[in-house]
């Protein structure tokens, strides 16, 4: 089977790799000069900076086996045990979130009334019509107003940089909703799931990982396995036409030369906002135009390096998330040099800060100087930082994480309808299958499997 894959992000690459290993002829077409999509790692002045995802959750044996297959296991770097601690800002102070029932009783992050309300979650009946609930409504009804304000709201910012009042609970956090519906309680569901993992001798320990040379090690290895001649970067698509049971694709290569080829299968893995702009010329392609309405708010990622002596806070955790109720410009920060080794030179620290998102999209588009003028005073007060950073790296994403807001199912239904009318066509990506790296990998595998069965 001859398959074209448009988009060389992690979903497209894992799909191509699986099809290639199964003996299929695969061609990956990518408009950028590089592969990996949002997974980008840069080493500058001794600081290893992630411009996109900063880690990957190793939660199932399938991912462990996959990294073995790719020869990446010996490059895996596990997160520092101290990074289990997560901080939030409350009344402008950094407070550690509880990690155990005992710490829940003693934490200053929540009031006594909020703790009692949280315990009531065990006895609250499952919510009716959960598919119609926003993330904010779901969390508030299950966990209470205060827990949502100081835990749920910043958690949503950390995952989606989104607006919890608009995000759909069933699309943004389907597993959490499934636990609530199945067990009648989020907390009860988490406890039962944890106990089941403990009893399963084959269940891998959940670990947050990266790679010695950063997250970009993954797409680089995949490109080697697929072979460079099967991946064309820097191309410009001219035409995508359905001809009987085949797909005819025309493009200009990186040198501007015209190319054309015919394929039995076509897999689209570009971001949702890019799909309506593809040069489709076949029946029902107009049905894809509404995908342009999926929000992708701008985000600025500012990676700042300091001498260790400049920062009073011990940075003894994963990082800090800022509730919207605090009225800050900062969404959150990752203590990158604490999370994984080798991220900063000796006697230095690296802090990655995130601004913009659905909460304040205008900030995500500011020039670097203006961005730092807003960011540094807030960060300095939170962490006790003295003086200017010795290293600055700012990456701005004009269109970042897709927001699966209420009504997101209309986009998914449109995709499914187009697929049903055009056998051999598959859409896969974070807007459909989940935004984490692990979810994108599995989406690539699933797309390859669909093609094999069609």
417 pLDDT exceeds 80? Answer: yes
Query: What confidence score (pLDDT) does residue 451 get?
Result: 61
Q: In what order do the strands lie in the sheet with 425-427?
A: 231-232, 25-29, 2-6, 265-268, 425-427
* 3/265 Cα distance (integer angstroms): 5
Q: Which residues contact 30 (CB under 8 A, 6 or more apart)?
A: 6, 7, 8, 12, 231, 232, 233, 234, 235
Model confidence at 130, pLDDT cuts 50, 70, 90, reads confident
Q: What angle do CA 27, 30, 36 make, to 5 degrees?
A: 105
Model confidence at 388, pLDDT cuts 50, 70, 90, reads very high
How confident is the model over 46-66, as a mean pLDDT? Answer: 95
Model confidence at 202, pLDDT cuts 50, 70, 90, reads confident
* Other CB atoms within 10 A of residue 345 CB: 16
Model confidence at 454, pLDDT cuts 50, 70, 90, reads low
**Under a CB-based contact definition with an 8 Å cutoff, are residues 286 and 336 in contact?**
no
Model confidence at 453, pLDDT cuts 50, 70, 90, reads low
User: Both tokens of residue 139?
Assistant: 């969390």
Q: What percent of the chain has pLDDT over 70?
A: 99
Model confidence at 452, pLDDT cuts 50, 70, 90, reads low
What three-state secondary structure class fits 146? helix
* Other CB atoms within 10 A of residue 33 CB: 9
Model confidence at 167, pLDDT cuts 50, 70, 90, reads very high
Task: Quick: pLDDT tens for 81-110.
Answer: 988 999 999 999 999 999 887 788 889 999
**Under a CB-based contact definition with an 8 Å cutoff, are residues 269 and 429 in contact?**
yes
Task: Quick: pLDDT tens for 294-346.
Answer: 999 999 999 999 999 999 999 999 999 999 999 999 999 999 999 999 999 99
Q: What percent of the chain has pLDDT over 90?
A: 88
Chain-centre distance for alpha carbon 38: 9
Lowest mean pLDDT segment, chosen from 36-40, 252-256, 340-344: 252-256
Q: What angle do CA 66, 71, 76 make, to 5 degrees?
A: 80
Quick one: which of 140, 252, 237, 239 has its CA closest to 186? Answer: 140
* 441/429 Cα distance (integer angstroms): 9
What phi and psi values does residue 418 have, to the nearest 5 degrees? -65, -40
Residue 203 or 24, more confident = 24
Chain-centre distance for alpha carbon 403: 11
Q: Which residues contact 48 (CB under 8 A, 6 or more apart)?
A: 41, 42, 213, 214, 342, 343, 344, 350
Question: Tokens 């200053």 label which residue?
Answer: 108
Task: Tell me what the pLDDT averaged over the chain comes to.
Answer: 94
Q: Which residues pair with 50 in a beta bridge?
A: 41
Query: What confidence score (pLDDT) does residue 50 get?
Result: 98
Please name the helix (run of DSSP H) or strand (run of DSSP E) that holds residue 192, with its range, or none. Answer: helix 186-199
**Under a CB-based contact definition with an 8 Å cutoff, are residues 216 and 39 in contact?**
yes
What three-state secondary structure class fits 211? strand
450 pLDDT exceeds 80? Answer: no
Model confidence at 244, pLDDT cuts 50, 70, 90, reads confident
Q: Could you tell me the domains of the chain?
A: 2-37+215-294+403-453 (3.50.50.60), 97-199 (1.10.3110.10)
**Under a CB-based contact definition with an 8 Å cutoff, are residues 335 and 317 in contact?**
yes
Model confidence at 1, pLDDT cuts 50, 70, 90, reads confident
How confident is the model over 195-212, as a mean pLDDT? Answer: 85
User: Both tokens of residue 171?
Assistant: 């699309």
Query: What confidence score (pLDDT) does residue 205 get?
Result: 80
Query: What confidence score (pLDDT) does residue 161 get?
Result: 96
8-state DSSP, 75? G
Model confidence at 114, pLDDT cuts 50, 70, 90, reads very high
């Amino acid at each position: 089977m001859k398959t074209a894959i448009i988009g060389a992000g992690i979903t497209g690459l894992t799909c191509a790799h699986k099809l290639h290993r199964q003996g299929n002829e695969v061609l990956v077409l990518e408009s950028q000069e590089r592969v990996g999509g949002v997974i980008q790692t840069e080493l500058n002045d001794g600081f290893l900076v992630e411009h996109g995802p900063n880690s990957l959750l190793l939660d199932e044996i399938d991912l462990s086996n996959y990294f073995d297959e790719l020869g990446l296991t010996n490059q895996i770097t596990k997160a520092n045990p101290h990074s289990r601690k997560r901080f939030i800002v409350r009344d402008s102070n950094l407070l550690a979130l509880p990690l155990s029932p005992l710490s829940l009783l003693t934490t200053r992050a929540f009031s006594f009334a909020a703790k009692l309300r949280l315990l009531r979650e065990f006895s609250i009946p499952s919510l009716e019509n959960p598919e119609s609930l926003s993330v904010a409504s779901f969390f508030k009804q299950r966990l209470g107003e205060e827990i949502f304000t100081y835990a749920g709201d910043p958690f949503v910012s950390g995952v989606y940089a989104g607006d919890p009042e608009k995000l759909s609970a069933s699309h943004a956090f389907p597993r959490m909703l499934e636990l609530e519906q199945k067990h009648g309680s989020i907390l009860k569901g988490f406890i039962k799931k944890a106990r089941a993992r403990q009893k399963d001798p084959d269940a891998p320990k959940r670990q947050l990982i990266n790679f010695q040379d950063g997250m970009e090690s993954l797409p680089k290895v995949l490109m080697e396995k697929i072979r460079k001649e099967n991946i064309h970067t820097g191309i410009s698509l001219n035409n995508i036409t359905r001809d009987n049971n085949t797909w005819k694709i025309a493009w200009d290569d990186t040198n501007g030369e015209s190319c054309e080829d015919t394929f039995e299968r076509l897999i689209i893995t570009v971001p949702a906002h890019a799909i309506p702009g593809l040069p489709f010329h076949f029946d029902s392609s107009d049905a894809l135009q509404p995908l342009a309405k999926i929000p992708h708010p701008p985000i600025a990622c500012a990676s700042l390096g300091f001498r260790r002596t400049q920062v009073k806070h011990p940075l003894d955790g994963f990082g800090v998330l800022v509730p919207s109720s605090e009225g800050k410009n900062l969404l959150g920060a990752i203590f990158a040099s604490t999370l994984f080794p080798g991220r900063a030179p000796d006697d230095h620290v690296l802090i990655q800060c995130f601004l913009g998102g659905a909460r304040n999209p205008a900030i995500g588009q500011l020039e670097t100087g203006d961005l730092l003028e807003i960011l540094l005073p807030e960060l300095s007060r939170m962490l006790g930082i003295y003086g200017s950073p010795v290293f600055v790296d700012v990456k701005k994403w004009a269109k970042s994480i897709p927001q699966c807001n209420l009504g997101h199912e209309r986009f998914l239904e449109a995709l499914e309808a187009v697929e049903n009318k055009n056998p051999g066509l598959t859409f896969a990506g974070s807007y459909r299958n989940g935004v984490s790296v692990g979810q994108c990998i599995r989406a690539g595998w699933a797309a390859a499997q669909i093609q094999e069965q069609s």
